[in-house]
Amino acid sequence: MTLIAINTTQNVNINFEAASVGERILAYLVDFIIKVAYLATMSLLLFKVFNFERVLEKMDQWSATAIIIGIYFPFFIYTLVLESIMDGQTIGKRILKIQVVKIDGYQASLPDFLVRWLFRIVDINLLSGIIGVITIVSTKNSQRLGDITAGTGVISLKNKIGIDQTILMDLEDAYQPTYLNVIRLSDNDARIIKETFEKAKKDKDYATLIKLRQKVIEVVKITEQKESNDVEFLTTILKDYNYFTQNM
């Protein structure tokens, strides 16, 4: 099992399991089937049902070429578009529960996905994907050339860890939340807060606890802290988040 160490914006390293070559290939095949199905459907509708060939014959060469390119265009940009709007996933990746992330802990952006997409020519299309497979199995973070250049990695989202390593916390039946604004946080935010909090508390890293509290106050937009110290405050934040997410 290969682990990818991602350094979060709180300067804490969190280990994620890297997606295996098999998972990545299966995700690629699922996406490829979807793209082929799109082309087959478009061809059937345009050329068999609507007899689009006659329309093309009446057009000049440039106009006909532009239309053909337009039809095929979604096939080529499928991965780029879906990874950009689905937070590092395509339909295939979502089914296989894997995701593209930035190694430095920041949110992957369109330029990162664009770099990965451009390198598909070398990693996947050239030599039937052999280059991509070789780099994935031989690099420390299981990265293909596109990942190395973009500073990304592909992690597995399968739940293979204990409940104490997740955002879940046990709550008393009569628990009442303190900060309603915790619903501004995402599951990923809560996970990072919990992992950073637990590590800082274990290491007695008070400077990190202060910074984490300040960041949470800023993001959640808390105007008044009701707890006497950072540990109690962050514990309350995590409990409140669990209360709302478990009762939605």
In this predicted model, what pLDDT tens digit does every residue of 89-100 receive, in sequence order? 999 999 999 999
Model confidence pLDDT, tens digit, residues 158-189: 754 443 445 666 677 788 888 888 888 887 78
pLDDT for res 163: 37
Q: How many helices (H) and strands (E) does the chain have?
A: 11, 4
pLDDT in tens, 3-20: 777 665 545 556 678 999
Average confidence (pLDDT) over 125-129: 89
How crowded is residue 74: how many other Cβ atoms within 10 Å of its Cβ?
A: 13
pLDDT tens for 204-235 read 899 999 999 999 999 888 888 888 899 999 99
In this structure, how many other beta carbons lie within 10 angstroms of the beta carbon of residue 144?
Answer: 27
The Cα–Cα gap between 135 and 141 comes to 10
Q: Is 230 exposed, middle or buried (0-12, 13-18, 19+ CB in 10 A)?
A: buried
**Length of the chain measured in residues:** 248
Query: Would you call 212 exposed, middle or buried from its count of C-beta atoms within 10 A (0-12, 13-18, 19+)?
Result: buried
Give the per-residue pLDDT at 160: 47
Tokens standing for 44?
Answer: 């059937």
Residues 6+ apart with CB under 8 A from 17: 1, 2, 3, 4, 155, 156, 158, 160
CA nearest neighbour of 93 among 79, 108, 77, 109? 79
- Residue 239: what residue type? K
pLDDT of 147 strictly over 70: yes
Q: What is the pTM of this model?
A: 0.64
